[in-house]
């Protein structure tokens, strides 16, 4: 597509994240987004890949900014994303009535996941998805962020993750994620179970 025969404009769209199109089984190449006009496949720039901040789950509402390139001769359109923003997720359940209206806002904890190629080849994307789903299942997605990072210098031991308390895990499998989350984050249900267990002992 030559520059003389194409028209370049900026775009901003809002839609529902459907998933990624992968290259070589692990490299993120395209973003699939469902909008009111149908499904769009959007090429990702390096900036957009690094700037997502949180792991996207299918069904998430997102905003995408980028460049729209129209080939005047053929009518072909190519989209390239420069910025992706995750819109607030809908809460999984309604808070109980007895919850105090004014609670101090907890500082967001952050789980770091290496997103470099060696870790991705060993399953970092699957681990990221499992972490995101695990946090959602525990109603922790508003309190805990997942952030992709550059190389952690442990390539052969990937996938590599670092929990908010600086505990590092190597060679993580997606199936191990629920146990790790339960070890580091006490949910409301776990607190109730612990209280009931103490009462039964007494």
Same domain assignment for residues 122 and 60: no
Cα within 13 Å of Cα(156), Cβ side = 0
CATH number of the domain that residue 143 is part of: 3.40.30.10
Q: Are residues 61 and 131 in the same domain?
A: no
Residue 196 has pLDDT above 80, yes or no: no
Structure confidence at residue 61 (pLDDT): 87
**Do 135 and 141 touch, CB atoms closer than 8 A?**
yes
Q: Tell me, what's the pLDDT at 103?
A: 47
Q: Residue 97: inside a domain, yes or no?
A: no
Q: Indicate whether 101 belongs to any domain.
A: no
What pLDDT does residue 179 have? 92
Note the pLDDT of residue 51: 55
115 & 183 share domain: yes
pLDDT score at 3 = 57
Domain count, the chain: 2
Mean pLDDT of the chain: 78
The answer as to whether 137 is a domain residue is yes
pTM exceeds 0.85: no
Do residue 8 and residue 73 come from a single domain?
yes
Q: Which residue is it, tokens 């805990």?
A: 144
On whether the CB atoms of residues 179 and 132 are closer than 8 A, the answer is no
Domain assignment present for residue 102? The answer is no
For residue 22, give its domain range: 3-86
- Residue 64 belongs to some domain of the structure: yes
Mean per-residue pLDDT, 24-30: 73
Pair (8, 62) in one structural domain:
yes
- pLDDT-based confidence at residue 1 (cuts at 50, 70, 90): very low
- Please indicate whether residue 193 or residue 167 has the higher confidence score (pLDDT): 167
How does pLDDT run across 34-46, given as a tens digit for each residue? 988 889 899 988 7
Q: For position 45, which CATH number holds?
A: 2.40.50.140
Find where tokens 């905003």 sit: 63
Three-state secondary-structure class, residue 103: coil
Q: Indicate whether 123 and 56 sit together in one domain.
A: no
- Residue 176, domain member (yes or no): yes
Task: Say how many residues make up the chain.
Answer: 202
Q: How confident is the model at residue 195 (pLDDT cuts 50, 70, 90)?
A: very low
Q: What are 47-86's pLDDT values in tens digits?
A: 776 655 456 777 888 899 999 999 888 888 899 998 888 7
Residue 29 covered by a domain: yes
What is the tens place of the pLDDT at every residue in 96-136? Answer: 545 444 444 455 788 888 878 788 888 888 898 888 888 88
- Are 1 and 76 contacting, i.e. CB atoms less than 8 angstroms apart? yes
| Residue that wins the pLDDT comparison between 67 and 90 | 67
Whether residue 35 is found in the same domain as residue 82: yes
DSSP symbol at 80: E
- Beta-carbon contacts of 105 under 8 Å, excluding residues fewer than 6 positions away, are none
Q: Is the predicted pLDDT of residue 199 greater than 70, yes or no?
A: no
């Amino acid at each position: 597509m030559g520059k003389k025969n194409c028209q370049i404009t900026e775009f901003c769209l809002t839609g529902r994240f459907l998933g990624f199109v992968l290259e070589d089984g692990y490299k993120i190449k395209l973003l699939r987004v469902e909008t009111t006009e149908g499904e769009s496949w959007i090429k990702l720039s390096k900036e957009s890949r690094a700037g997502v901040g949180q792991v996207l789950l299918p069904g998430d509402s997102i905003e995408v900014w980028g460049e729209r390139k129209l080939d005047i001769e053929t009518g072909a359109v190519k989209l390239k994303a420069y910025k992706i923003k995750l819109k607030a997720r809908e809460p999984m359940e309604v808070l109980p009535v007895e919850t105090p209206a004014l609670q101090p806002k907890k500082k967001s904890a952050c789980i770091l996941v290496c997103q470099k190629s060696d870790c991705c080849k060993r399953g970092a994307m699957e681990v990221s998805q499992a972490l995101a789903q695990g946090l959602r299942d525990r109603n922790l997605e508003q309190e805990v962020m997942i952030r992709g990072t550059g190389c952690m210098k442990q390539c052969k031991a990937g996938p590599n993750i670092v929990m908010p308390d600086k505990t590092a895990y190597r060679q993580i499998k997606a199936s191990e994620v629920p146990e790790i989350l339960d070890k580091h984050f006490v949910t409301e249900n776990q607190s109730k179970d612990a209280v009931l267990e103490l009462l039964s002992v007494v």
